[in-house]
Amino acid sequence: MRLALNEAKRGLGCTSPNPAVGAVIVARGKILARGFHRAAGQLHAEIEALRALKKIERARGATLYVTLEPCSTHGRTPPCVNAIIDAGFRRVVIGTIDPNPKHSGRAVQLLRSAKIEVKTAVLEAECRELNAAFNKWIATKLPFVIAKTGMSLDGRITRPAGEGRWITSEAARAHSHKLRAHVDAVLIGAETLRIDNPQLTVRGVRGAKQPWRVIVSRSGDLPRNARVFTDEFRDKTLVYKNKTLRSVLRDLGKREITSVLIEGGMRVLGEAFDKRLVDRVQFYVAPLLLGGPKVSAGGRGAGSTAESARVANPRYERLGNDLVLSGDVVYD
């Protein structure tokens, strides 16, 4: 299953609105084939692994390890459970059950009805975490929201005038591009667009697809020569005028956008935390004390410390002199 997870990770950032899935076929203690889901509309991981066998009869009596319960309904591709049964597998080991309530557990029932041994919940937490965004979207139709910012040690997000826009290091920025490569959309406010004129593209990550660029604005008065409106990805830029952040996220979910990276500034992040819309944070902190009025997140703030959002099981990583803190957000 660990090998199947590694296969699944090869598809991260490319499969939306489908989940990332990996599969491994084993017989007599030997790995016969591996596969992963490459993109929506392409072969699922189980079928990729079966194709890699070259001779389908080699699957008879073998064990299939798959990170997610095989699909049992016809979507963009035929149901994988039928192919698994027809191939003659003796045993199927599943990391986690399909989170879609419409057919959760159905493939397990079909496999067992076909006299195939089924074991579930193997490395379940890791398999579920792999598709945190898909799991939320398939159940709620709202995208998984990650709040990201680069700030000084005292929580400021802008340098003094004339000193450039970067607070964190080049290593931290390269790290954040990997995060962009794994989401469907990057969202900013109008003020960030006017001041920074960002590209909001993925750079330095081989094979990454370009996420949507989403601009939220109260007035809709935006510079039409901004790079997001004039570059090669201009058709992947969306503008929402005078809409609440929740309504924007709801519309993005309807567009099959399963994950959104909010890159600030302080007004947008403040609204996101005030409305309890953030699922995960990834904050890059530089060892600087800048002062000044612009903080990482504005908004009303928590009414009390007890009511504040908190980061569960925070993870810390050092990037040169900078620190990145990440973790899931919990609201009491």
Burial 84-119 (b: 16+ CB within 10 A, else e): bbebebeebbbbbbbbbeeeeebbbebbeebebebe
Q: Is the dihedral of CA 247, 252, 253, 254 positive or negative?
A: positive
Catalytic residue selected from 46, 48, 69, 263: 46
3-state helix, strand, coil in the chain (%, to 5): 30, 25, 45
120: left (phi over 0), alpha (psi -120 to 50) or beta: beta
Query: Phi then psi for 124, rounded to 5 degrees?
Result: -60, -45
Question: Could you give the 3-state DSSP secondary structure of residue 192?
Answer: helix
3-state secondary structure of 324: strand
Does the active-site annotation cover 46?
Answer: yes
For residue 71 the two structure tokens come to 């699909």
Q: What angle do CA 242, 246, 250 make, to 5 degrees?
A: 105
Residue numbers annotated as active site:
46
